[in-house]
Structure 1
Amino acid sequence: MRRFMLFVVIGLAFLQSYADIPNGYYNQAENCSGPVLKTKLHEIIEVGTRLSYGSGTNNTWWGFYITDQRPDGSVWDMYSTTVRYFSDRGNSVGGMNIEHSFAKSWWGGSKNDAYKDLYHLNPSDSEANSRRGSYPMGIVESPAHWENGSIKVGDNTYGNDYSSWCFEPEDQYKGDFARAYFYMATCYEDLTWAVSQVNAQHALSGDHYKVFKDWYIDLLLEWHRNDPVSQKEIDRQEAIYSLQHNRNPFIDYPCLVEYIWGNKEGESVDFNTLMSTSNPDYMSSNDKSGCTCEITTPTLTSPRSGSIVEVGNANLNETVSKSIEVVGVLVSENVQVSLSDSNANCFTINKNTFTAAELLDTASLTISYHPTALGEHTATLTFSSNELSRTTTVEIKGQCLAQLSEPVDADYYFATSNASEAQTKRFTVKGTNLASDITLSISGISAANFVLSETQLDKDLVMAGVEVVLTYLPAIGNQEATLSISSTDFETRTIGLHGVCSFSALEATDITDNGFTANWTNANVDNYVLDVYSKTVSGNEPVLLFEEETLSTEVVNSNDYLSTSGTVYDETSKGALRLGTGSGDGSLVLKNIDAPMGGTIYVKAQAYNNDASVLLVKHGSEILLEQDLSSNIEEYVIDFPALTESETIVLSQGVSDERVNLYAIRVEVGGETIVNVSVNGFPCSVGDVQEYAVTGLAHDTYYYTVTPQGLPVSEEITVRLDNGNSLVPTEHAAYQYYIYNGTLEVLHLGHDATVRLYDMYGRLLENKYHQMESCRMEMGQRGVYLLQIEENNQKTTIKLIY
């Protein structure tokens, strides 16, 4: 940034604690050049953490609260001049979006670390965010198609390679955006770039080294050079570093841009010759390229004055050590090292004097931390001599804290299908430097299902390690609780407890030609109800309720069965209705449908532009379809259950902000359905048993379910009686078929037979031409099917129930 601005007060704390580049952070990249240099930087900065996307604790807006807040509490918005204010940390700000400055569609929109990386995420005015879209950056021709006093959108005039729409930020932020793009191209160089995306294709080359096309590199270099690193960028980086634990090398060392994309490409980098933005002289320097760092007076180049050395964690009366490099330039005298401050007695150093020869050749200083009391301890290392240009002071830190080392913070899981048998899990409780005893407790709605062998532990035993037994008392369903391990010495550790006990009907055994034994798991109840039944077909052919071959708000408003909710938009040129815009989500609602036999929805849909769109279709809380959409217009078929006129079916965006285009919709109601016919004497109560013999059956295929007392019914079990492979002759004796485990096999075919399988709505599922005597087809889900066999210009159609 060329224009200097006040820095957020919050950020000052980070500046004092983190403004120095961690010692040795870029060592892997030393003396590297070209693609090797970029890959080394990639390996350094790809590590760390990324906040979850969105609002809430430890999410993007929680990060923005410290990375993009001005001193007056307002949002630092690089996309508009509108002033908006943060409320509580983690809350989103009204009228604003999370902007991907490096458009997410440029790598295909995958919600990976790049999607969540704060180095290219910014709080943005919602309208500006929508107008900016995924256009490449550029210089906008005047007059712009759209501008708001901060950004412009219009035709690009930079260079001769691209003249379509682009996005142009303010001059004071152009370098910020350029360095964010260089960071993304480096940190995520292993991504597959979407070079065919409608806007990305003009900026991305597909090359994993330089990533960008030549004209775009020229633009980014120009902005990087003309708008050098500002205090705002430095402070924002330190705030992000405190959250993500990685850095932007092009903010730390601006000259690195030249070694990869600029006038030093191919040269090996020597970090000692570069000026970093953490150098106190950088902001006052006339040359902010960072490519020269000439030293003319005796100077210690390592450690840096004001840096922090974390020696480590230690137990009481134990010692931990850490070594640091001590390097001097142009020194000719000895340098003295001293320890000071109130906790200096907790630290020792192995040398108090370095000769000039040692410093010129790179020396090492070992710092040892030996705590005699609990707490966090700091001291100051001072390096001084009569000739040094400045005294170097370094803060050293160590901590000796009471802590719980076991169990680790990971949830415990139990799973069983037998509700009468308890399960156990053993874990160790162990800590260090404890002064108080430990309490274990279980809370939550299902706390009674989990029992601890111990609830109070002596501190001395815990420091040696104590084994505790956790017992799960299962009940059918899911049980959730929380184990808390607490003491006045450390922050309470919580561990989630999860139990699931499933009741299941099991496969039948002892199958004969007229009976079988039904089986099921133990639900720990006094009675089970067994239902045994066969299936038959009921109903009529489906009836068309309505069909709309194009969709728009006008079409919806004129249809008694349709309405919209939320934000929708007419894609007039496409003949489509878009669910959702940049300012909100939307849905299409099916209403006033009287369908006691259920029905089917046929809808044509497509992802909007390059959004990661999902079509979600729900009947109340029941999900009927959750479908990822592509850039192609495709038809999706959704069966729905019985409906009354007061019920609705809602078609909406499965992912917020990821828009959906709907092109056409058709609804049919009625149709054939399968009816269960219970065997005489069923359903019946069978008592507290886990098996029951069923006899006196006459057909080929039966089904059964089991309902434990007070619990939901089990899944359905299919039983095929043992009567010679269950071959079923058709009315044409020439053909025979049978169905087993979802596979249909048709026998006695001629050598030129065509076999077709249709669903109950007449949709062709499979079409096979056979020159063999048998044919196999997969049936899919259970239902009514039509089997058609064409041979010698004769067609035979058979209705199947599976």
Structure 2
Amino acid sequence: MNRKKKFMQKRYTKNLWNMFILPTISILPTFALQSCGDNNSNIDNEKYYTSIKLKNNVNLASLTKDDFIFENLDAKYEIVDFSAKYDDTNKKITIEFKIRGQISQKILKTVVEIIPYANPNKQNIIYDATNNYYASAQGLRGMLLFEELYKLQKSKTSGVGSYTDLYKTYETAFVDKYFEKNNTVLDVYSENPYGQDPYEFKFGEYDGKGGHARDNRLKGKEGWMYNREHMIPQSWFNDDQRIRCDAHFVWPTDKMVNQWRSNNPHYEITNGKTSQNGTKWNSSYCEPIDYFKGDIARAYFYFQLTYNNKGLSNNGSYVFKNVFPFFQENFLKTYQKWANNDSVDIIEIDRNNAIAKAQGGIRNPFIDYPNLPSLIWGNGTETFQNLGVAKTIK
């Protein structure tokens, strides 16, 4: 499936903002190759207008060319001298770039555009108001809100199943109905949200009793099989048997990327190795691709809110601590940033509902209420307002 088709199919996933920088009607007659004098080319009337898509989950404070996807630009042309700056006051992005002929190396056009910016991550969550899961938290904030939600979550953990049950839960909670839409395993370590996946796992191609390899020729390499990845490593909570079986933070992922990640926390890195979908790791940390950073941050938040350092080991204390806010400052700030930049989408809402159904009703509150991090750890005065549970996105 080509990249353009794949983007058009993502109706309900994280939105991309389309910006048509050079309108086709005005550009084509004026800026054909012949008229621009790129005489080294033997193609007449070639198009070099382009459209740009802004990726989701970008850092607006430091936009780069890599934050955008360029479409409809012939391979004989390239974008150079690109810059983009976000004006938060006026909610606009100023974009400047040049189009250069690959053969002649001549600058054919300089483009400067100021574009109104509609945040692609802002979504309208639709709630089931008849569900009173969060009723007891009404009107609370800060540590009081955390404590009340912890009591609520603790009372629901009895519904978490066995370690074997996880593979069954994955068949409803981690299904690719959003990108390729082919009902394969949705794996955050191998999914490419912007193009063709490097490989895909069918359900059953897992490590363990009842499973089998996807391709034994790939033994020890990516694409071999998937297994159960504890986003919060088992060694951090001393392998507590009930905790280790919770699908809200134990996800199906490529076995080898899971192994290479080891027991290291998810965090930002500058140097390291990279998986085929762009996940990075080194000897200290693992950094997921931007598209799934919010998902993983909310898994960490869920773990702390639900288990609150139960069985916390020395390894776990590198990220967590035993007093409010229960996270080491640098990790809390990073996960809050990830959650803000990568907002809740239909994938997470569907996953939350499927896991709740499989695990006796226990939910991830940070998916139902994306503003929870600011209500718990922020400095404002806003309090929790019970709307029910999230059922979809409009």
The TM tier, using the shorter chain, reads 0.5 to 0.7
1:179 aligns with 2:298: yes
1:153 corresponding residue in structure 2: 281
Q: Match for 1:68 among 168, 174, 181?
A: 174
Letter in 1 for 2:138: E
Spell out, residue by residue over 1:560-592, the C-alpha distance to the aligned partner (whole angstroms, 9 max, x if none): xxxxxxxxxxxxxxxxxxxxxxxxxxxxxxxxx
From the two aligned structures, give the one with the greater helix fraction.
Answer: 2
Alpha-carbon distance change, 52 to 138 in structure 1, aligned in 2, over 3 angstroms? same
2:280 and 2:288 in contact (8 A); partners too: yes
Q: How many residue pairs end up in the alignment?
A: 248
Deviations 1:696-715 (A, max 9, x none): xxxxxxxxxxxxxxxxxxxx
Paired residue for 1:248?
A: 364
Match of 2:230 among 100, 104, 129: 100
Write out per-residue CA displacement over residues 739-758 of structure 1, whole angstroms, 9 at most, x where no aligned residue: xxxxxxxxxxxxxxxxxxxx
SS at the partner of 1:220?
Answer: helix
Matches within 5 A, 1:424-435: none
Aligned to 1:130: 259
The partner residue of 2:245 within 106, 116, 123 is: 116
2:378 matched to 1:271? no
> Match of 1:36?
144
Amino acid at match of 2:278: S
The answer to whether the 8 Å contact 1:99/1:122 transfers is yes
Secondary structure at 2:286 match in 1: strand
Distance 1:36 1:178 in 2: 21
Give the counterpart letter for 2:163 in structure 1.
Y
Deviation of residue 33 (structure 1)?
Answer: 2.5
Contact map agreement 2:189 2:254 (CA 8 A) in 1 = yes
8 Å CA contact 2:136–2:148 kept in 1: the answer is yes
Q: Normalised by the size of structure 1, how large is the TM-score?
A: 0.29
The residue aligned with 2:161 is: 51
Deviations along 1:24-58, one digit per CA (max 9) or x if unpaired, are 2111111222222112111222315012102xxxx
RMSD: 2.9
Compared CA separation, residues 215 and 97, structure 1 to 2 (3 A): same
Change (3 A) 1:176 1:118: same
The one of 185, 189, 208 equivalent to 1:79 is 189
Letter in 1 for 2:139: N
Larger Rg belongs to: 1
Say which of 170, 180, 184 aligns to 2:289.
170
Corresponding letter in the other structure for 1:152: K
Is structure 2 residue 334 aligned with structure 1 residue 219? yes
Q: How does 1:399-548 map to 2 (within 5 A)?
A: none
SS at match of 2:291: helix
Shift of 1:277: 4.6
Q: How far, CA to CA, are the matches of 2:130 and 2:246 in structure 1?
A: 20
Question: Identity rate of aligned residues, in percent?
Answer: 27
Give 2:352's match in structure 1, choosing from 226, 232, 237.
237
* Alpha-carbon distance, 1:275 to partner: 10
Report the secondary structure of 2:322's partner residue: coil
User: Displacement, 1:136?
Assistant: 1.2
Measured in 2, the distance between the counterparts of 1:128 and 1:180 equals 18
Task: Tell me the CA shift for residue 73 of structure 1.
Answer: 2.6
What is the Cα deviation at residue 201 of structure 1? Answer: 3.9
Q: Which residue of structure 2 lines up, in the alignment, with residue 719 of structure 1?
A: none
Offset at residue 79 of structure 1 (A): 1.1
Q: Partner amino acid for 1:246?
A: I
Q: Deviations over 1:502-526 (max 9, x none)?
A: xxxxxxxxxxxxxxxxxxxxxxxxx
1 or 2 for the larger relative contact order (CA 8 Å, sep ≥6)?
A: 2
Bigger proportion of residues as strand:
1
One-letter amino acid of the structure 2 residue matched with residue 132 of structure 1: R
1:202–1:45 distance in 2 versus 1, CA, 3 Å: closer
Offset at residue 276 of structure 1 (A): 7.0
> Helix, strand or coil for the counterpart of 2:159?
coil
1:397-452 per-residue CA deviation (whole Å, 9 max, x = no partner) reads xxxxxxxxxxxxxxxxxxxxxxxxxxxxxxxxxxxxxxxxxxxxxxxxxxxxxxxx
1:87 shift after superposition: 4.4
Q: What residue number does 1:547 align with?
A: none
